[in-house]
Every structure is written in structure tokens, then in C-alpha cells.
Amino acid sequence: RKPLYITCVGFDLDQAINLYLKASALSHSANLHGNLANLYFKKEQFGHSILHFRKALLLNPRDTELVANLNFAYEMANLSPPLQNFTKTYFSVNFLSFWIIICVIVFWAGLLILFYLLFFKTSRKPFLYFTTGWILVFSMCFFATNLCLKQKSELGREVISHLPSIENNHSKTIPLRRFAGESNSVNTNILPGESLIIQLGNNGTNKSHQIANGNTWYLARSTNGKKKGWIREDEFGWIIDPNS
């Protein structure tokens, strides 16, 4: 395999990570997050590494080297890379603008043709055939747009689990608890690097709870919906910062 490389000559890993984290608070770039991911990989903090590779690919999705490095990080974290099925490929956030444009074109083109058919008093059968086809095609485009919007919503709530910075043992698991708080029983465990979706509350915002010691907990589920529980805010990182 092509080895991951470190670009911060003259600094130890922790110093380099701190410098990049300070820089990422000011601006974002695929190169910046890719370098952070490489540094965390070197420290065997694979949850953090996967998080920043995902951030980098969000900014530069066509970088094949980032994709290869991300897959390698998943392998080292004993995780399988997320499956890129047909839905996630062609109805992803990257295709949202495309489907919106197609919807607009289909709607207005169909409407103009309908006016034309009505104006020239076309026979009833062609008019009904066209209307049925137009509604069907527009409905499919509208459905595709909604799929993209759903994935956009989930991407905005997707997080990557990782061990708190003070812990370096990448073999540890992260508990998802039945209720918010350290003392509550564990519902299930996940590995650092797993993707989670933060659940929404009744008011449409991320479901969270702050306990007496000041820690904030979030209710999350795995992307396949099989695992669910409360996770502490320092045990995951947002792919897209909700405050940005």
C-alpha cells in the first residue's frame, strides 16, 4: 500500500495536530483535513483519522488518494467502508442541484406543451397520454429531489465516533447508553470510526441533554438503524459543524 505521509517536519505529532486544529477553526480545505487525518492515523487514533478524511472528501470528493487513505483507515479500525449503492451515488447531496434543475425543466416544458396542445385543440387521446406521462416523469424527478434532500439532512447530522483525546487506545469501544449520563446502563457498543446519525427531537432540532456536570449528550443511531443510544459530545465529531 502507498504509505500515509506526514507534512509537518520539525514538530512532534501532538504539536502538529494542535496547529492544524487551530487552522481548521479559521478555514477549511481538503488538504488541511487530509493532513490532520494523516497525523491522527500516525497516532493510531483511527476515529479522528476517519473523521478528517470524511471532511476532506466532502470538500474534494474526486480525490482518489483521499478515498484510498480513508479505506485504509477503515481497515485499520476494523470497520468496513460504507457501501456506495445506487441510491447513495445518484441521489446524493452532490446531485441535488442536478435533480432540482431537471424538476424545473420537466415542469415548465410540460406546462408549455400542455398549453400548446390545448391551444391547437389536439384530440383527447394524445392529450391524456402526454399529461399522464408528464405527471409520471415529474413525480419521479420530485421523488429523486426528496431523496437528495433526505441525504443532505442526514449528512448534516452525521457524526464519526472517536475516543476522547486523552485516550489513545484505539482498541477500546464507545458505549451508547440507554439514557444520558455516565451512570446509565450501556445499550450497545461501537468502535471508533463508526458513523452515527444524531436523532431529531419533537421540535426538529438535534436531540440532546445537558446533565449536572455540564456534559452534553446526544441521542444517536447507526446508519443502518441497528444501534441506538446516548453518546457524550466529546466521543464524536461532526462531519459538518452545525455551528458553521
pLDDT at residue 115 in the model: 87
CB-based contact 32:20 (threshold 8 Å): yes
Nearest C-alpha neighbor of 88 from the set 150, 158, 142:
150
pLDDT at residue 125 in the model: 81
User: What crossing angle do the helices spanning 124-156 and 96-119 adopt, rounded to 10°?
Assistant: 160
pLDDT at residue 91 in the model: 84
For residue 61, pLDDT beyond 90: no
63, 67, 69, 73 alpha-carbon torsion, rounded to 10°? 150
For residue 218, pLDDT beyond 90: yes
Better-predicted residue by pLDDT, 172 or 8? 172
Better-predicted residue by pLDDT, 119 or 111? 111
For residue 157, pLDDT beyond 50: yes
Q: What is the residue whose three cell numbers read 441521542? A: 219
For residue 132, pLDDT beyond 90: yes
| pTM attached to this predicted model | 0.81
Residues 122-150: what's their mean pLDDT? Answer: 90
d(CA 190, CA 215): 20
